[in-house]
Amino acid sequence: MTEIAIEVEGLTKRFGDKTVVDDFSMAVPKGAIYGFLGPNGSGKTTTIRMMCGLLKPDAGSGQALGYDILKQAREIKSRVGYMTQKFSLYGDLTVRENLDFMARLHALPNTKSVVDGALEEYSLEPRAHQMADTLSGGWKQRLALAAASLHSPGLLLLDEPTAGVDPKARRDFWDRIRKLSKAGVTVLVSTHYMDEAVQCDFIAYIAYGRKLIDAPSDEIASRVGLHTWRIEGKGLQPIQDELEGAEGVDQIARFGSAMHVSGKNEAALKTAVMRYSGNAGIIVSEAKTGLEEAFIYLMTGAEDNFS
């Protein structure tokens, strides 16, 4: 059986008269990379913090890394690494000094050897004496990950981890995250970026404090049950106007010179889109429903209880 790193049931959190997390339940396998996807303010970070004992819920229960999230929060916190969206280390300290500070904060033995190991592991040695503030976004991200994983946490929390970094730095970052995952570290990722979400093994989509779906990332689209067709070419706006509200068409998403037309009624959807297949310069083809189409569909049906 798969070992479970986190299991929570009925987590609820209120701030004033607003319920920002509503009856949230989930089980997270050990070593999984679990993405929490949703719009800003949907309750993702609050949910993750409660799951890890960093924030006390108003209702619900659970365990993280074998410890009760209500009664043993201190034990959990010492085993969690947290990487915030905004660079939170000290800009007026060098790379080495920042890692040394974090090692001492965690009361790690053999501080110098631990820091030397992190510098080597994350290829930071050439920049060890560089001020953190002078690093590029990608190198700051690498330093932040090194600092968050310095004490060998069993659980790693990432909040919008690759926001504002270039594609190569993003790829390198995810390679390192997969290496940690392979070593048994459970990773929770809060994001509203689709290209971050697709890197995760599992995805929970949260809107307005409620979980809409929770599944392996490659099963999300099929569980939503959408079928999708791609229409590409010039002059798509008149076609889009005609398809809006047509039988079988539940949503339309534009991607530059193409649009994805999706719906749950497979036969009606095909009938709706195929009448344009003979138009000059227009190509109509069946497409695989992606995460973006699935989440747009889920979001459309979500009720905003925050307003």
3-state secondary structure (DSSP) of residue 196: helix
Q: Which amino acid is at 127?
A: R
The model's pLDDT over 184-237, given as tens digits with 9 standing for 90+, comes to: 999 999 988 787 888 899 999 998 889 999 999 989 988 999 999 999 999 899
Q: Does the model's pTM come out above 0.95?
A: no
pLDDT exceeds cutoff 80 at 96: yes
Q: Which of 290, 262, 292, 259 has the alpha carbon at shortest distance from 193?
A: 292
Q: In this model, does residue 105 exceed pLDDT 90?
A: yes
Domain at 281, CATH number = 3.30.70.330
Provide CB contacts within 8 A for 244, sequence distance 6+. Answer: 252
In this model, does residue 40 exceed pLDDT 90? no
Position 101 pLDDT exceeds 90: yes
Give me the pLDDT at residue 302, please: 58
122 and 238 share a domain? no
100 DSSP assignment: H
Structural domains counted in the chain? 2
Token digits for 207? 């809107």
Residues 217 and 236 in one domain: no
Tokens encoding 120: 């080597």
Helix-, strand-, coil-residue percentages of the chain, each rounded to 5: 35, 30, 35
pLDDT of residue 138: 87
CB 51 within 8 A of CB 11: yes
Same domain, 57 and 102: yes
Question: To the nearest whole number, what is the mean pLDDT of the chain?
Answer: 91
Domain extent, residue 142, equals: 4-221
What pLDDT is attached to residue 195?
A: 78
| Structural domain includes residue 23 | yes
pLDDT digits 0-9 by tens, 59-93:
999 999 999 999 999 999 999 999 987 888 999 99
Considering the domain architecture, whether residues 250 and 174 belong to the same structural domain is answered as no
- Is residue 104 predicted with pLDDT exceeding 80? yes
248-284 pLDDT, tens digit each: 999 999 988 899 999 999 999 999 999 999 899 999 9
**CA distance between the termini of the chain:** 43
Q: Are residues 78 and 117 in the same domain?
A: yes
∠ CA 250-251-257, nearest 5°, is 145
Q: What is the pLDDT of residue 305?
A: 52
190 and 269 assigned to the same domain: no
